[in-house]
Chain A
Amino acid sequence: MHNSGDVQIPIGPQHPALKEPESFLISLHGEKITAASVKLGYNHRGIEKACEERTYIQDLYLIERICGICSHSHSTCFAQTVEEIAGIEIPVRAKYIRTLIAELERIHSHLLWLGVAGHEIGFDTLLMYTWRDREIVMDLLAQLTGNRVNYGINTIGGVRRDIKPGQKEAVLNAMDALEERTKYYIELAQAETTLIKRLSGVGVLSRKDAQHLGAVGPTGRASGIERDVRKDDPYAAYAELDFKVITSDKCDVYGRTLVRVGELMESYSIVRQIMKKIPDGAITVKVPRKIPPGEAIGRYEAPRGEDLHYVRANGTEKPDRVKVRAPTLANIQAVSKMLEDRYLADMPIVVAAIDPCFSCTDRLVAIRDTQDKKHKHTMIWETLRLKGIEWHKERGIDFTLLNKKLADIFKK
C-alpha cells in the first residue's frame, strides 16, 4: 500500500480531534500525501456490552455519555428506539422540548466547530468570538436543563423538565443575539478572500466518493448529498417544523464551512418556531420497566450526521442488544480519500472539517523516514498546526490582518 521510497508518518492514536482517539498512518512523497490509512478503536469502552447488563433507564444515562458534545443526540435516539419497541407515543410537548434541546445542541456544536476550524488555519480571532458566542447557548442549555453538557433532559417516555415561564424570552433573546453574529460570520465567509483561498479546494470529496464511502451530515451535504434525517425520516417534532436542508456543491472544506453556518441560521429559525408552536400539556407518560420483546431502529440527525441505534428487547427490564453507529464512524473512511494527494500542511483542517470530537489528551505526531530508519522524530499536533499556518503564509495566505480586522469590528 505504501511505497518504500515515501516517508511514513504515524499520527495518533492520541489526537486532539477525536471523540475516539485514532491513529493515522500518512505516507508522504515530498510534502504531498500519497496514502492515508486510519486505525480506530483506542477509545472503545464496551458501552454496548455494558448496556446489556443495565436497565433501560440506566442505559439512557450511560448512552448520554457516549459523546460530550452530542450527548442529547444519543440519548434521544436511544429513548425513541425503546419507545418504539414499547409502542409508546410521548406527549407532543415532550417532543417539542426534545427538539428544542436538539437544535440548541446543534448550535453549540457548530459554533464550536467554526472556532476549531479557525484555530487550525491560524484565524484565532474567529475562535475567540465563536466560542464567546457559544457561551450564550451553553448558558441557555444550563438554564433549561440544569446542565451544560450531559443535559439529562430525556427519560423513556418523555422529558424530565418543563420550560418555565420566563425562559421563553431568554431563548428568543439568545436567538436574536446569535443570529446577528452568525450573519456577520456568513458575510465574512463569503467575502474574505484569505479565508476562501485557504479553504477552497482543500479536502476534496466528490459527490460520488461521499456516496460510496457513506459520508453523513454536513460532510455529505457539502458534497451535494441532500440528506438529513430530520427531513427524510422525521422524528420528534421535525415533521411540524419548516426548515431547509443546506447543501453545497463545492465538495471541499470551504463547502463544509458554508453548510454549517447555513445550518446555524436554520436552527435559529427552528428554535423560534418551537417557541411559537409548543403546545401545553404533559411532558411524560408512564412506561413499564419491562419492555416487551421486539426490535427497532432509531435514526437521528446529530450535528455531525446520522446517528443510528438498534435495540432488541427480550421482555425483561434490560435490553438484549444495543448497537450504536455514531456519525464519525461513517465519516472517518472519507478522511483518507480527502487527504490523498494533498499537502501535509492541510491535514489539520481536513481532519477537523469532518468535525470529529477532540479528546484533549496527547497531541503526538510521529514522523518516520522509511529511507533512513535511524532518524525518527516526533512532532506534536500544535507544531503541525503551526507548520501548516507558516507553510501557507509563505504562499501568500496570511490571517494576521483578518485577525486584527475582526478584533477591531467587535471592539466597537
Chain B
Amino acid sequence: MMLDGEKIKEELENRFNYLKDAVIIKRESRIFAQIPLEKFEEVFRYLVKQSRFDALSAITGLDSGNGFTVIYHLHREGKILVNLKVDLNKEKPAVNTVTSYFPGADNFERELIDLLGIAVNGLAAGNSYPLPDNWPKGEHPLRKDWKGRPSASSV
C-alpha cells in the first residue's frame, strides 16, 4: 500500500511537472515542497481547493542569507502537513496575500511585513503586527543583518 505522503508527492509531481524532485518527504506526515515564486498561486490553489489541504497552520518567514524564504504550513484534517517553500530575492522581497483563502492568515502575513520586511501584495490595510505602530521604518528584526537598535541596547 502506498503511504499518504508518497501519494501526495506523486499527485503534485504528476500535475505540476516543474515540481519533479522538488517534493521531499521528511517523514510520513511532513512534506516539503520548493515552489517557484511565479507558480506558487497555482500550486497553493490546487492544494487548498482540490486536494483538501484546507487549513493553514502558520506562515513562517526567514532570512536565508542570500534572500528570503516563506513557508506556508498547510494541513489536511490535522494529520498531514505540507510545507510550501517560496524563495524571494533580497532586493524586493514580495508575496501575494493568501487571506482570500484563509482570513486567519492576516496576522501571519503582518509578521512577514514587520519582522522581515517582506511586502505582501493585496493585504488589506491594518495595524502593524507584532511591532508597535511607532517602530522606525526599515528596521526588520528578523533580518540577519539587524543587530538591534542602539537606543534599545544601551538601556
Is A333 within 8 A of B103, CB to CB?
yes
Residue of A nearest to B26 (CB): A296
Chain B residues with Cβ under 8 A from A321's Cβ? 60, 62-63, 142
Is A41 within 8 A of B83, CB to CB?
no
Chain B residues with Cβ under 8 A from A49's Cβ? 141-142
In angstroms, how far is the closest chain A Cβ from the Cβ of B127?
A: 5
Is A212 within 8 A of B62, CB to CB?
no
Asked if A355 is an interface residue, CB under 8 A from chain B, the answer is no
Is A308 within 8 A of B58, CB to CB?
yes
Is B55 within 8 A of A211, CB to CB?
yes
Chain A residues with Cβ under 8 A from B30's Cβ? 296-297
- Of the listed stretches A94-102, A129-137, A227-235, name the one at the interface; the rest are far from the partner chain: A227-235
- Of the listed stretches A120-128, A322-330, A359-367, name the one at the interface; the rest are far from the partner chain: A322-330
Q: Mark A31-55, 1 if CB is under 8 A from B, else 0.
A: 0000000011110101011000000
Asked if B73 is an interface residue, CB under 8 A from chain A, the answer is yes
Asked if B118 is an interface residue, CB under 8 A from chain A, the answer is no
Name B125-142 residues within 8 Å CB distance of A: 127-132, 141-142
| A213 and B104 contact, Cβ closer than 8 Å, known pairs A46-B141, A297-B83, A308-B58 | yes
- Of the listed stretches B9-17, B74-82, B87-95, name the one at the interface; the rest are far from the partner chain: B74-82
Complex: how many Å from CA A321 to CA B144? 10
- Report the interface size class on chain B: 35 or more
Asked if A74 is an interface residue, CB under 8 A from chain B, the answer is no
Chain A residues with Cβ under 8 A from B71's Cβ? 310
Complex: how many Å from CA A214 to CA B98? 13
Complex: how many Å from CA A394 to CA B30? 54
Is B73 within 8 A of A232, CB to CB?
no
Q: Is the interface of B mostly helix, strand, loop or mixed?
A: mixed
Chain A residues with Cβ under 8 A from B83's Cβ? 297
Residue of B nearest to A301 (CB): B78
- Report the interface size class on chain A: 35 or more
Of B32, B60, B81, B132, the most chain A CB neighbours within 10 A belong to B60
Name A202-245 residues within 8 Å CB distance of B: 211-214, 227-229, 232-233
Chain A residues with Cβ under 8 A from B29's Cβ? 233
| A323 and B58 contact, Cβ closer than 8 Å, known pairs A49-B142, A213-B103, A297-B83 | yes
Residue of B nearest to A332 (CB): B107
Q: Is the interface of A mostly helix, strand, loop or mixed?
A: mixed
Residue of B nearest to A212 (CB): B103
Asked if B54 is an interface residue, CB under 8 A from chain A, the answer is yes
| A214 and B55 contact, Cβ closer than 8 Å, known pairs A40-B129, A310-B71 | yes
- For this complex, 18 residue pairs linking A to B, each with C-beta atoms less than 8 Å apart, are A41-B128, A44-B130, A44-B131, A211-B54, A211-B55, A214-B56, A227-B77, A233-B81, A296-B30, A297-B30, A299-B81, A306-B57, A308-B57, A310-B58, A323-B60, A323-B62, A329-B107, A330-B104
Which residues in B have some Cβ–Cβ distance to A below 8 Å? 26-27, 29-30, 32, 54-58, 60, 62-63, 71, 73, 77-81, 83, 102-104, 106-108, 115, 127-132, 141-142
Q: Nearest 10 pairs between A and B by C-beta?
A: A41-B130, A214-B104, A325-B58, A44-B130, A232-B78, A227-B78, A323-B60, A321-B62, A333-B104, A232-B79
| 20 more CB-based (< 8 A) A-B contacts, given A321-B63, A321-B142, A333-B104 | A40-B107, A40-B129, A44-B131, A48-B115, A84-B27, A211-B54, A212-B103, A212-B104, A214-B102, A227-B78, A233-B29, A233-B81, A296-B30, A297-B81, A297-B83, A299-B57, A306-B78, A308-B57, A310-B58, A310-B73
Which residues in A have some Cβ–Cβ distance to B below 8 Å? 39-42, 44, 46, 48-49, 84, 211-214, 227-229, 232-233, 295-297, 299, 306, 308, 310, 312, 320-321, 323, 325, 329-330, 332-334
